[in-house]
Structure formats: structure tokens, C-alpha cells
């Protein structure tokens, strides 16, 4: 994955909510990354959650951005 792809997964600060989808398997990744996905509420591939755009959630997304697809949403 290139740096450009990783930058696309990052979340701008102006959005109210973010829609996060797990697009890659967690198998083979460190335990802390698996726990971060679990903390976001992601379990299986293609599972999707909507979370508020807070610094804590953005930090979790940035930690596992290579596994996610992120969309910005104004509504929940």
C-alpha cells in the first residue's frame, strides 16, 4: 500500500461522523491492531460502523488505516 492510499484513509477534522469499513483481514497483524479494530466495533471483513469524528476515533483509524476504507458523513 502506498503512502497516497494511507492518506486517503485519514479523516478530515470538519466532518461530524465517519463511516468505517474493514476491507482487509486482521489475520497476521499484531494483537494491538486487532484490538483497535474491535474497539471501533469492526469484526468481519466488510463490516461497517458509523462513529463520531473525535480525536480518539481518528487516532484509532490512523493506527489501522491500511485495513480500512473511511468515508465522511454529515449524518449518522
CATH number of the structural domain spanning residue 60: 3.30.1390.20
Q: Where are the alpha helices (DSSP H) in the chain?
A: 3-9, 31-40, 55-63
Per-residue cell: 3: 503512502
User: What pLDDT, on the 0 to 100 scale, is given for residue 73?
Assistant: 80
Question: What's the predicted TM-score (pTM) here?
Answer: 0.79
Q: Into how many domains does the chain fold?
A: 1
User: What pLDDT, on the 0 to 100 scale, is given for residue 11?
Assistant: 59
Max Cα-Cα span within the chain: 34
Q: Residue 65 carries which DSSP code?
A: G
Domain extent at residue 8 = 3-73
Q: What is the pLDDT along the chain (76 residues), one digit of tens a residue?
A: 555 555 555 655 667 899 999 999 999 999 999 999 999 999 999 999 999 999 999 999 999 999 999 998 877 6
What residues does 62 pair with on adjacent strands? none
Amino acid at each position: 500500500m502506498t503512502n497516497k492510499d494511507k492518506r486517503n484513509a485519514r479523516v478530515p477534522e470538519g466532518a461530524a461522523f465517519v463511516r468505517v469499513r474493514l476491507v482487509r483481514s486482521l489475520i497476521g497483524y499484531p494483537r494491538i491492531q486487532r484490538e483497535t479494530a474491535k474497539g471501533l466495533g469492526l469484526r468481519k471483513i466488510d463490516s461497517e460502523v458509523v462513529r463520531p469524528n473525535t480525536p480518539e476515533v481518528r487516532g484509532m483509524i490512523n493506527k489501522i488505516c491500511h485495513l480500512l476504507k473511511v468515508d465522511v458523513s454529515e449524518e449518522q
